[in-house]
Amino acid sequence: MYEQFYGLKEKPFSLTPDTEYFYRYSGHQEALNVLLVALRNGEGFVHVSGEVGTGKTLLCRQMLKLLQNDCATAYLPNPLLTPLELYQAISHDLQLDFPENASVQQLCQGIFSELVRLHKMKRPLVILIDEAQAMPHQSLEALRLLSNLETEKEKLLHIFFFAQPEFEQRLAEDNLRQLRQRITFSYTLATLHYRELSAYLDHRLQVAGFDGKSLFSPAAVFLLHKASCGIPRVINLLAHKAMLVAYGKGTRQIERKMVALAIKDTRGFKSPKRVISSPYVLEISMIMVIAVVTLLALGRWQ
């Protein structure tokens, strides 16, 4: 729609989790570090949690790319599986040949044999489970039992959970205490900080083919962060709409009022009130508070 107008090869702020657009902001980079350190240390279960829209699926797919040369992987984007379906999905990703009517026991034995083979090749198996908060209790227990397949000195299987915060509430339940005790590494995804947002926007624009100065003015970036709370999915949605507004007006520069119109057009957002369009708004507020407190203290002393 507006790609030619901005000199782009594709839309830069799509909601699809495309690893080509992966941006190593502090939250995602720290999460990757935790996952890689846990894998290097031979930990069995690792848990990454984050609110809706913080990029868990994108992080999961990026992790798959990083592991593909050194590890065997199984990716479960749909956690709504019975124990039998779970083992079948893992076997399918490992390209194991089983008859359609294979039992849970047969599948489990076949996976264990593959784990031993991979161990001899020094290729650990990593299972990545997206939206883990939706996985049935019996399937979580089946995963725990599958993790019992290990040697006397090291684990043959590593399981990475990517889940919404509700998963932590489930883990707190008494019937999942055995699984909870096995999760040795965990990380909660942070949102984008204001200082990271401009670079995030520029990164996605450059990947999409943009060649030029930043499209978003400082005031537009400030309001975009304020409205989105730094959540990448919401940022992408509002940035896309703001670009549509600018395109409709025939201008390439995206100002604050265009972001405000994008917010107004988006369900779940209120029209923004007039705010100080400055990255120093918090500092200004703090200075004002300190000044008032100082005056009150002087008055009481006198």
**Structure confidence by residue, pLDDT tens digits, 40-65:** 888 889 999 999 999 999 999 999 99
Residue 273 pLDDT > 50: no
Residue 205 pLDDT > 70: yes
Mean pLDDT of 73-84: 95
Band the pLDDT of 295: cuts 50, 70, 90. very low
Exposed / middle / buried, residue 289 (Cβ in 10 Å: 0-12, 13-18, 19+): exposed
Structure tokens at 246: 């600018």
pLDDT at 156: 84
Buried b (16+ CB within 10 A) or exposed e, 87-97: bbbbbebbebe
Mean pLDDT of 94-104: 91
CA nearest 301: which of 293, 291, 288?
293
In this predicted model, which residue has the larger pLDDT, 69 or 293?
69
β-bridge mates for residue 160, sequence order? 46, 128
Mean pLDDT of 130-141: 95
pLDDT at 262: 95
Q: How far apart are CA 251 and CA 215, in angstroms?
A: 10
CA nearest 140: which of 103, 173, 92, 179?
179
Band the pLDDT of 285: cuts 50, 70, 90. very low
Q: How far apart are CA 12 and CA 211, in angstroms?
A: 13
Mean pLDDT of 129-150: 90
Band the pLDDT of 135: cuts 50, 70, 90. very high
Mean pLDDT of 279-289: 37
Domain 26-188: homologous superfamily in CATH: P-loop containing nucleotide triphosphate hydrolases (3.40.50.300)
Mean pLDDT of 66-84: 94
Q: How far apart are CA 29 and CA 52, in angstroms?
A: 18
pLDDT at 102: 92
Residue 82 pLDDT > 90: yes
Q: Contacts from 113-117 at CB under 8 Å and sequence distance 24+?
A: 114/72, 115/149, 115/156, 115/157, 116/156
Q: Where in the chain is the domain with CATH 3.40.50.300?
A: 26-188
Mean pLDDT of 69-90: 94
Residue 278 pLDDT > 60: no
CATH 1.10.8.60 fits 193-287, yes or no: yes
Residue 214 pLDDT > 80: yes
Mean pLDDT for the chain overall = 87
CB atoms within 10 A of CB 17: 18
Q: How far apart are CA 247 and CA 166, in angstroms?
A: 40
CA atoms within 13 A on the CB side of 8: 21
Share of the chain above pLDDT 70, in %: 87
Q: Where in the chain is the domain with CATH 1.10.8.60?
A: 193-287
CB atoms within 10 A of CB 47: 24
Mean pLDDT of 127-153: 88
Instruction: Decide: 204 and 15 in contact? Cβ < 8 Å.
Output: no
Mean pLDDT of 13-21: 94
